[in-house]
Amino acid sequence: MSFLRITSPHGHSPLNTAQVMQAVLLATLPGIAVLTWFFGPGTLINIVFGGALALALEAIALRLRDRNPQRYLQDYSVLVTSTLLCIALPPYAPWWLVATGILSSVILGKHVFGGLGYNPFNPAMVGYVVLLISFPLQMSSWQAPRGLGEIPGVTESLTALFVPASYDGVTMATPLDLLRQNKGLLLDDLFSSTPQFSQWAGVGWEWVNIAFLAGGAWLIYRGIFTWHAPLAMLLALGLCAAIGFDSGSSESGGSPLFHWLSGATMFGAFFIITDPVSGATSNRGRLIFGALVGVLLYLIRVAGNYPDALAFAVLILNFAAPFIDQYTQPVTYGHKPSREDDE
């Protein structure tokens, strides 16, 4: 038996930016697949169109900033931004909607602040909020899921992107909308009387969320990000929902399970708030950051005016991230935490 003598430091090659970004892209695949199964090829078309546009814009922005486009385009970061944004956009959106979102994400969200690593806000969510504020009508019309409406084919989906009003899709209120507009029905009655609801949450939506949860769990296993922020966000959201559940009365805010499996919960928990740049940096900070996102997510969902709350919750907390970092700075090894340090 050979005795390998390995001395410290046991260096290993850490992941570089491109590998991290590729892993994130790979992890979105299950979610995208389920989205495509339930809502048709609209999301895929958005992703391809948005990705091409984002690459072109990134190259132009890099050229304007006197950077080497070839080197920076290879880190896949802009593709992650555009893919995350396009997943959040409603399928069968017109091209100008996608284009405005990508433009806002890449230019206003990223390059205005100095490019990758310098953005104080999550670029994908910047683009999403610009769209949500500017075009509330288009942003809140979601295709009805498979089983409740007809799923368009690929050609129909392509024409929907470029020819205005060519595709008259079947849109339906999402479960979150229905719950907010619920007037006077007990939760059980609402679930049984409306076809959009399913066993746990909404038809389609629950599986979309489970798929993103699976992708996120794989990313944690790969060590791309830590579990702190997602877990804190989900726990805080669940706690808020449990408090507001009101045993399913007509005033109920929905069960924890419903909130976990609705809208952008899992997508946000594993793909948005884990952004290493715009979130908090220490593990303790991530716990606080995630929990506050969860609380805000619930509050805006139940009391707010928009279809889902994730983008607003994340942007508000991005503002707060440096402040959270300030008070959660870990003590360096060998030092004692002292009060004098705070002053």
Partner 1 sequence: MTTPTYATLTHNGLWKNNPALVQLLGLCPLLAVSASVVNSLGLAAATLFVLISSNLCVSVVRNVVSDTIRLPVFVMIIAASVTAIELLMQAYTYELYQILGIFLPLITTNCIILGRADAFAAKNPVLPSIYDGFIMGVGFGAVLVVLGAIRELLGTGGLFANMQLLFGETARHWHVVFSADYPALLLAILPPGAFIVTGFLIAGKNAWDNAATRRAEANRAPIVAGTKRVRVTGKIS
Question: Which residues form the interface with partner 1 (CB under 8 A)?
Answer: 94, 96-97, 100, 108, 112, 130, 133-136, 138, 164
In angstroms, the CA 231 to CA 265 distance is 12
Instruction: Report, in Å, the least distance between residue 139 CB and partner 1.
Output: 11
Residue 114 contacts by C-beta under 8 Å, 6 or more apart in sequence?
A: none
Alpha carbon of 272 to those of 121, 124, 255, 269, 283: distances in Å? Answer: 11, 8, 23, 6, 16
Instruction: Report, in Å, the least distance between residue 130 CB and partner 1.
Output: 6
Instruction: Report, in Å, the least distance between residue 109 CB and partner 1.
Output: 12
Give the containing element (helix H, strand E) for 172: strand 171-172
Alpha carbon of 122 to those of 32, 89, 259: distances in Å? Answer: 20, 15, 22
> Which residue lies nearer to partner 1 by CB, 232 or 311?
311
Instruction: Report, in Å, the least distance between residue 315 CB and partner 1.
Output: 12
User: What's the one-letter identity of residue 149?
Assistant: G
What backbone torsions phi and psi does residue 171 show, to the nearest 5 degrees? -105, 150
In angstroms, the CA 273 to CA 300 distance is 17
9 prior amide bond cis, ω within 30: yes
Instruction: Report, in Å, the least distance between residue 133 CB and partner 1.
Output: 5
> Which residue lies nearer to partner 1 by CB, 112 or 331?
112
In angstroms, the CA 286 to CA 235 distance is 13
> Which residue lies nearer to partner 1 by CB, 129 or 296?
129
> Which residue lies nearer to partner 1 by CB, 95 or 200?
95
> Which residue lies nearer to partner 1 by CB, 19 or 138?
138
- Tell the residue number behind the tokens 């030092």, with chain if given: 335
Instruction: Report, in Å, the least distance between residue 101 CB and partner 1.
Output: 11
Instruction: Report, in Å, the least distance between residue 68 CB and partner 1.
Output: 20
> Which residue lies nearer to partner 1 by CB, 139 or 277?
139
Instruction: Report, in Å, the least distance between residue 115 CB and partner 1.
Output: 15
> Which residue lies nearer to partner 1 by CB, 113 or 227?
113
> Which residue lies nearer to partner 1 by CB, 126 or 296?
126
- Tell the residue number behind the tokens 């996120």, with chain if given: 216
Residue 8 contacts by C-beta under 8 Å, 6 or more apart in sequence?
A: none
In angstroms, the CA 101 to CA 248 distance is 37
Contact 105, 88 (CB under 8 A): no
